[in-house]
Structure 1
């Protein structure tokens, strides 16, 4: 018969092992936060725009330019005959062309 009663595992985990396991969990948590958390400092800043009023004016100007581009006529390439049409007019022409087919 073999004597296996002398070779047994300890019933309590040593303090050093507990500390190492906790440090591994903390390191994993820190790494996960570093990788998956959004980085506010990575947002590109516009030169010279500092106050909310200046940002609002910049947004208003951008929206006005987009509205003008979406509702007005302009040449894209005059040599090639490419023009920019208002969206409503482009829809009308597309519907007319598909109705003729």
Structure 2
């Protein structure tokens, strides 16, 4: 199925809007995630003083990881959406370039 230039441009615009929305949402989700970490550490103590940085491999951080898991998953989901929006934008841009090169050859 061949698309005309207007349809391809509409796809580029839609992907651009999705990229902007995802980037904005990611900033908010990161703030929520980091806030949840800080809240948990304030309430339950901060093991970073003797355990180093937060890591899922360290048993000292099981509680904070379990507490923030929904926030982390939401953030990762939005990052995947951003990646997909970038991919859609890239593919639509490539399609537009291909369409324009075909038109110039005719």
Report the TM-score when normalising by structure 1.
Answer: 0.30
Greater fraction of residues in helix: 2
The structure that has the greater radius of gyration is 1
Greater fraction of residues in strand: 1
Report the TM-score when normalising by structure 2.
Answer: 0.29
